[in-house]
Amino acid sequence: MSDTMPRDLRGYGEHPPVLAWPNGSRVAVSIVLNIEEGAERSVARGDAADDLGGHWLRHPALPDQRNLDLESAFEYGSRAGVWRVLRTLRRHKALATAFCCTVALEANPRVAAALVRDGHEIAAHGHKWDVHTHLSPEEEESRIHRVRDEIAAITGAEVTTWYSRDGITPATRRIMSDSSFAYDSNSFNDDLPHDGADGIDVPVLPYAGDTNDSALLSQYPTARAFGSYLTGALDCLLDDHREGPSVLSIGLHPRLIGRPSCIGALDGLLTRASETGAWIAPRREIVAAWSRRDR
């Protein structure tokens, strides 16, 4: 297997493809709900240190000691935050794509059941909230298959794709193609889906790092500021003087967006999307609509 991946700096260029999302919508809005709480690295579970990258709380001077405050901050997402997010999505009749870690679903099977009950797309995000780019192709394939099968067994749902915490390797998309995954999201390079590179038949629906509630940890002091950023991105894509439609990806984490002080950002974005006729859809449906375009 090749250890290189070709780069494509040209993309669609000045004239992206013209296609119609359902109902003639100009923008497709993808809501991604990351189900990670309980799967983060934890001294209590035998890891070398607690996971510090996913919350505003920081570890005290001794990073190899268990931090109960940090654990409780993650627990907020599975105990309260996720239910507030799901209520908000139901109120707006919006379906999301859930990037799920096996251990998080095992720790709270009621969340797994609710995701399936409400019709959200189920995707694989790791056994724990792990990194994967250090794995050999054989190890990576084994890990992807293991997690896919674990999550399918817990949810009883089809697992449509794989999204890694630290990105992909040159082998990942070939593994995904051979495993019959519907698409890949491990990219940040466009406002539209596109074909995979190097002859690999896995379409890519790029994700986004800026329209992600992790920015609440540093960039946005309030939900109002974050919500304004989200609706500003939507308005730009709606009014952009370019041919064809676009996709707006929103990344969410229950321990963050599910806070009472933060949920308004999601509510406002969904309200604006509905008012402007944007199409809110799981990622598999966006890729399917793109794949049906006239080529």
Which residues are CB-neighbours of 243 under 8 A, at least 6 positions away? 15, 16, 18
Residue 142 CA to residue 155 CA, distance in Å, equals 20
**Tell me, what's the pLDDT at 56?**
66
**Tell me, what's the pLDDT at 120?**
98
CB atoms within 10 A of CB 136: 10
Question: Are 57 and 71 spatial neighbours (Cβ–Cβ below 8 Å)?
Answer: no
**Tell me, what's the pLDDT at 53?**
62
pLDDT digits (tens, 9 = 90+) for 12-34: 999 999 988 999 999 999 999 99
Which residues are CB-neighbours of 93 under 8 A, at least 6 positions away? none
**Tell me, what's the pLDDT at 175?**
96
Give pLDDT < 50 ranges for the chain: 1-2
Question: ∠ CA(206), CA(152), CA(135), 5° rounding?
Answer: 60
Residue 98 φ then ψ, to 5°: -100, 115
CB atoms within 10 A of CB 282: 22
**Tell me, what's the pLDDT at 284?**
98
Q: What is the DSSP letter of 232?
A: H
- Domains, the chain, in order of start with CATH, read 22-47+64-291 (3.20.20.370)
Residue 25 CA to residue 28 CA, distance in Å, equals 7
Query: 44 to each of 26, 51, 64, how far by Cα in Å?
Result: 47, 11, 10
Q: Would you mind telling me the total number of residues written for the chain in this entry? A: 295
**Tell me, what's the pLDDT at 1?**
44
Question: Are 251 and 32 spatial neighbours (Cβ–Cβ below 8 Å)?
Answer: yes
**Hey, what are 218's tokens?**
């540093």
Which residues are CB-neighbours of 176 under 8 A, at least 6 positions away? 144, 161, 162, 184, 202
**Hey, what are 212's tokens?**
């992600």
**Hey, what are 249's tokens?**
């990806």
